Amino acid sequence: METAAKLDRLREVIRTYESVLVCYSGGIDSALVLKVAHDVLGERAIGMTAVSPSLADEEHEGAVKIAKEIGARHELVQSNEIDDPKYQANGSDRCFHCKSELYRVADRKKVDWKVAVVANGANLDDLGDYRPGLKAASDAGAKSPLIDAGFTKADVRSAAVTLGLSIWDKPAAACLSSRLPYGTSVTRERLGQIAALEAALHRLGLRQVRVRWHALPSTVQGTLESSMARIEVSRDELDRAFTQRDAIVTAGKAAGFAFVTLDLQGYRTGSHNELLAPRALPIIR
């Protein structure tokens, strides 16, 4: 099915909602849903961005900017998943607990704002990866209009070009907690380290970036926590990153990392999932 036909199908799906709260992160998927919802439903479509320590400042600012570009009503709300011990524990189901909190907030706001449906930006490609957040969406009764309209990630980008969304080629993003290995506790301090280094890498001109946080064994009693940054960039940016290694190391040290490394495999979605196995995960408090 061509882009125009898929967009028509997406409009039909969203029109049936009558009114909708879009869980909008500022990424291309939820931005497309918000754009089409605004075009179809006008003021009856509201974008909601959950703000928490796992949302990088850059993503927060980008979400506000794109919502203004779209012209949609946009609400920022606080999300408190980091206070949930099950989320802090960072098991392989962390995303379930995060999204469960998101949908609890959305359900309350749905009542406050008098809208009928909560929707997300999941697309067909998301069904092929380990995504416990999709179970939280299902449990909450949230709609996935891109899936219902048959959109893959490539379809999303093509539709975004057609509709003139400036972020049509924005690299995939994920919450900062996804940079911590499963079993490593989520803390505000660790998220702050990750956010600081990723922002610095973006300022160096690198686009597709993940700073994977790894704990190092402490050798001196009472010293501050030691950690290593394993940096993933897209394969076509590896050469550029290597030529900027001194600046990258400086930025990593400034963010509090003891060691800074570059992953030669390059960026890949969910690289921490590569370590999932039918065994207990080590717990790093």
Three-class secondary structure assignment of 196-250: HHHHHHHHCCCCCEEEEEEECCCCCCCCCCCEEEEEEECHHHHHHHHHCHHHHHH
The per-residue pLDDT string of the chain (285 residues; one tens digit each, 9 = 90 and over) reads 699 999 999 999 999 999 999 999 999 999 999 999 999 999 999 999 999 999 999 999 999 999 999 999 999 999 999 999 999 999 999 999 999 999 999 999 999 999 999 999 999 999 876 778 899 999 999 999 999 999 999 999 999 999 999 999 998 888 999 999 999 999 999 999 999 999 999 999 999 999 999 999 875 545 557 999 999 999 999 999 999 999 999 999 999 999 999 999 999 875 555 655 544 444 444
DSSP β-bridge partners for residue 20: 45, 117
Looking at the chain, the domain(s) classified CATH 3.30.300 span 176-275
User: How much is the pLDDT for 174?
Assistant: 86
The fold of 3-162 is: Rossmann fold (3.40.50)
User: How much is the pLDDT for 58?
Assistant: 92
Strands 259-262, 73-78: pairing is unpaired
CATH of domain 176-275: 3.30.300
User: How much is the pLDDT for 274?
Assistant: 62
Q: By three-state DSSP, how is residue 23 classified? A: strand
Looking at the chain, the domain(s) classified CATH 3.40.50.620 span 3-162
State the first-to-last Cα distance of the chain, in angstroms, to the nearest integer.
49
**Torsion sign (Cα): 181, 185, 188, 190:** negative
Phi, psi (deg, nearest 5) at residue 5: -70, -40
- pTM of the predicted structure, to 2 decimals: 0.88
